[in-house]
Structure 1
Amino acid sequence: MIFLRIILIFLTFSPESLFSKQGSGIVLVYHRFDEQKHPSTSISSQNFNEQLQYLKKNNYNVLPVSRLIDFFYDGYDLPPKSVFITIDDAFKSFYENAFPLLKNYNFPFSVFLSTGFVNKNRTSDFMDWKMLDELKKNKGEIYNHSDKHKSFIEYPSTDLIKDIETAKKKIEKNLGKSHKIISYPYGESNTFVRDIVKGLGYKIAFSQHSSPLHFKENKYNLPRFSINDKYGSLERFSQIINTRPMNISFVEIINDEKNNSFQLNLKTEFNLNKINCFINSGNLEKSINDNVLVVKVSNASKNQRYRLNCTLLKNSDVYWFGTMIIKHKNKFYF
C-alpha cells in the first residue's frame, strides 16, 4: 500500500512567545445578508449588527486586512483583540444591508471580488463598480477573488494565471491599485496554486478553514471563520473571537486515497488527552502514539471540502487548530 506523506508545518515556539511577541487575530468571512434562501452563506442584518455592537462595546481592534502585510513582513505586532472583517463575492445584499452598519460603527472591512460578476443591472445579485467605489471611499478595501469564481485547483497553470490577472486588471482599471491580497474561491487551494499565487507577487492569501491567525501561519493559506445565521449566534460569535491559536510544532498528513482516508499526526505542548477534534464529514478516530496526536479520518469517499477542527480548553481559554483537506476527482489536496 502506497501512502503520500506531506509535512505541512514545523514550528518552534511556545505559547508565551506566540502571544507576547507576535500577537494573533481572528479573521471573519461573510457572504450574503438577509438572504434566507441561502442559509449556508447568509446572515441577518440583525445578527450582524449585534456582532458589530459586541466588538465595539468590548473594545476589539477591528483592522483592515492590509494590516496583515505589516504583521507578516514588516515586523509590526498585532494589538490585543485584533479582528478582521472580510466579505467574499460582493453580493448586492452586502451593500444594501451590511455596509450601512459598518459605516455606522466606523469599522474597516475588505471585500474579495470576483470581477466577472460585477453588474449594474438592477436585478443582479452583485454590486456594480459605482457601489464598489463607494465602499472604497468608506474604509472598504477591494481585493482579488478571481474573475470567474472557479475553483483554482481545477485550472492548468496558464488558465489560472489568466483568471487572476484578468481580475487584477479590472480592479485596477475601475478602482485603482491595491495591495496584493487574494482569497481563493471556495477557499480551495493546493501547493501548486499557492506557488503560482506567490509567484504573481501576492503577499497573503485566504482560505476558508476555521482557526485563529498567528505569525507562523502559511501566508498563502490563511484561515477565516465563516459566519452565517446557523453558526452566527452572539454566544458562538463571542466564543470565536476570543479563541487563541493552538501552537502546533509539527503536522504531518498521510494520504490513503485507495481506502478513502487520511491521517493527521500533530505535535503540541498542550495536553493531548484534553484535545477534542471534529470533522464535518467522514468518521474520525483520535489516538495518542508516542506523544503524537493521531487523527484518522475514514469513509472520506465524497468529493468535497473536509474541515478538521481541534480545540482545547485551558484556564477558561479556548485554543483552536483548524485545517481543510479537499477531495477533488478522488484525489486529496491540502
Structure 2
Amino acid sequence: MGARAETTPEDLNSAVVYAYFRVGDDDRAVPGISTDDFKLQIDEITNPDNDYNLVSVDTILKAQDNNSPLPPRSISLTFEGSDSSFIRNAFPLLKDNNIPFTLFISAGLIDQAEKTGDTSILTWNDVRTIAKSNLATIGMTSYAYNHVDDKNAESLAADTNRARERFRTEMKTEPRYFSYPYGETTRDYLNVISKQGFVASFGQQSGAIGKSSPRSILPRYTVVDSFTDLDRFKMTALSLPFPVSDIEPSTTVITTNPPHPGFTVSSEISDTDLKKMKCFASGIDKLDIEKIGARHFEIRFSNAFEDSKGRLNCTLPAAPLDGTDEPRWRWLGFLFAIPDGT
C-alpha cells in the first residue's frame, strides 16, 4: 500500500461552491439540471447521516479570514443568470430544508424581460421576495450577460456600473459578490472588477476554495448537463484545494489554441504527493506534464480544442476522511473561452 497522502493548512477551512443555472423546466433549451436530479442532491445534502455542512459564502470566507476550522463537506450553493425556474423549482426546496444560497442576478436580463413580458426570467419583485429570506444572499453579474472576448475596458466598466446602479435602485443595497458571465475573464475585465470593491468574485472553473484562493476569481463546480449526476456531486463535495501560484494563462479568454497553461505548486504539497498529479482536458487526445524547475509545471496539449469552451483539470489524491476509505482529491481547474478564429 502506498504512503498516505498528507494534509495541508489549506484543508482546515476549505469548502466547495456549486453553480446551478436552470433547475427543472426540462422542455426549455437552456443548460441546467432536472428537478428530479436536483431533488436527489437536496436529499443527499440534508440527510444527517451524510454529514454535510451547508453554509453561506459569507461563512466560508469569514472562516478562512479568521483561520477558523470548517468541517469536511462544507458546501455552498449558488444560482446563476436570473432564470425564473429558480423561484418555482429551487427556492421552495431551499426554504423547506433551511439551505443558505447565493443568487447572482443580471439586471439587464431582468429589465429586458420586464419590457417584453418574458416569463423565463425573474422579475425584480421576484428577486425582492427571495431576498427577504434570511437564507438568501443576492449577488450580481454583468448587465448584458454577454461574452466578453471583444469588449474593451471602457465598455466593461460601463456595463458593470450600469448593473450596479440598477441593483442599488431596485434592491436598496450594495451587492457584495460578483459572478463573471459564462465564467469568462480578460485582463481588462479582471482589472475593472478589482476596482469595484466586491468581497469576492466567482468564475466557473472547477475546484475547492482555500484561504489562498484568489478572491478575484474563486472556483465553482458547475452543475449542468453531463455534470449533474449524484456520484460526481458526492466526489466533488469532498474535494480539497490544490494550492498553486503563477497560474498561466491568468484569464479564461485565450488567444492561442491550444493554450499553454502552467502553475507553481505550493511547498505545502509534498514531493511524494506531487508525483501522483494527473491532468485531464476535454476533447484533448493526449496531455504531457512538463516539470520546469523544482515545482513549476506546464501542460502540453496534443491538439486544439474544437469547441468554444474547454476545460483542464489537474488532481492529486488526498488523505481520506478518518475512519473511511472514500477517495478525496485536490482539484485545480482551468476554464478556457475560445473566441472564433482562435
Q: TM-score, normalised by structure 2?
A: 0.82
Which of 58-67 and 249-258 deviates more? 249-258
SS in 1 for 2:317: strand
| 2:138–2:175 contact (8 Å) kept in structure 1 | no
Q: 1:258 to 1:155 in 2, by over 3 A?
A: closer
Matched, 1:56 2:46: yes
Matched, 1:304 2:308: yes
SS in 2 for 1:216: coil
| 1:33–1:42 contact (8 Å) kept in structure 2 | yes
Correspondence for 2:260 among 259, 262, 287: 262
User: Cα distance, 1:122 vs. partner?
Assistant: 5.8
SS in 2 for 1:274: coil
User: Cα distance, 1:280 vs. partner?
Assistant: 1.5
Matching residue's letter, 1:320: W
Distance of 2:282 and 2:305 partners within structure 1: 13
Unaligned 5+ segments in structure 1 are 1-13
| 2:20–2:79 contact (8 Å) kept in structure 1 | yes
Matching residue's letter, 1:77: S
SS in 2 for 1:277: strand
Distance of 1:125 and 1:274 partners within structure 2: 46
Distance of 1:180 and 1:305 partners within structure 2: 28
Which of 226-235 and 258-267 deviates more? 258-267
1:17-166 matched pairs, under 5 angstroms: 17-20=9-12, 23-37=13-27, 41-57=31-47, 58-71=50-63, 74-75=65-66, 77=68, 79-80=70-71, 81-118=73-110, 119-120=113-114, 123-138=118-133, 139-166=135-162
Distance of 1:199 and 1:209 partners within structure 2: 22
| 1:30–1:41 contact (8 Å) kept in structure 2 | no
The equivalent of 1:282 in structure 2 is 284
| 2:283–2:305 contact (8 Å) kept in structure 1 | no
The equivalent of 1:325 in structure 2 is 336
Matching residue's letter, 1:235: D
User: Cα distance, 1:250 vs. partner?
Assistant: 5.4
| 2:103–2:138 contact (8 Å) kept in structure 1 | yes
Q: 1:210 to 1:258 in 2, by over 3 A?
A: closer
Tell me the number of residue pairs that the alignment of Structure 1 and Structure 2 aligns. 315
Which of 32-41 and 111-120 deviates more? 32-41
User: Cα distance, 1:154 vs. partner?
Assistant: 2.8
| 1:183–1:207 contact (8 Å) kept in structure 2 | yes
| 1:25–1:78 contact (8 Å) kept in structure 2 | no
Distance of 2:171 and 2:159 partners within structure 1: 18
The equivalent of 1:6 in structure 2 is none
Unaligned 5+ segments in structure 2 are 1-5, 320-326
Which of 137-146 and 182-191 deviates more? 137-146
Q: 1:311 to 1:40 in 2, by over 3 A?
A: farther
Distance of 2:193 and 2:235 partners within structure 1: 32
| 1:253–1:265 contact (8 Å) kept in structure 2 | no
User: Cα distance, 1:263 vs. partner?
Assistant: 4.0
1:235-274 matched pairs, under 5 angstroms: 235-248=231-244, 251-252=247-248, 260-267=258-265, 268-269=269-270, 271-274=273-276
CA RMSD of aligned residues (A): 2.8
Which of 254-263 and 227-236 deviates more? 254-263
Higher strand share: 1
User: Cα distance, 1:325 vs. partner?
Assistant: 3.0
Q: TM-score, normalised by structure 1?
A: 0.84
Correspondence for 1:217 among 213, 219, 228: 213
Matching residue's letter, 2:162: T
Distance of 1:163 and 1:249 partners within structure 2: 30
Distance of 2:255 and 2:196 partners within structure 1: 31
User: Cα distance, 1:258 vs. partner?
Assistant: 6.6
Matching residue's letter, 1:327: I
The equivalent of 1:208 in structure 2 is 204
| 1:305–1:327 contact (8 Å) kept in structure 2 | yes
User: Cα distance, 1:264 vs. partner?
Assistant: 2.4
Identity %: 23
Q: 1:158 to 1:71 in 2, by over 3 A?
A: farther
Distance of 1:89 and 1:257 partners within structure 2: 26
The equivalent of 1:8 in structure 2 is none
| 2:247–2:261 contact (8 Å) kept in structure 1 | no
SS in 1 for 2:11: helix
SS in 2 for 1:200: coil
Distance of 2:205 and 2:305 partners within structure 1: 20
Q: 1:296 to 1:40 in 2, by over 3 A?
A: farther
Which of 250-259 and 203-212 deviates more? 250-259
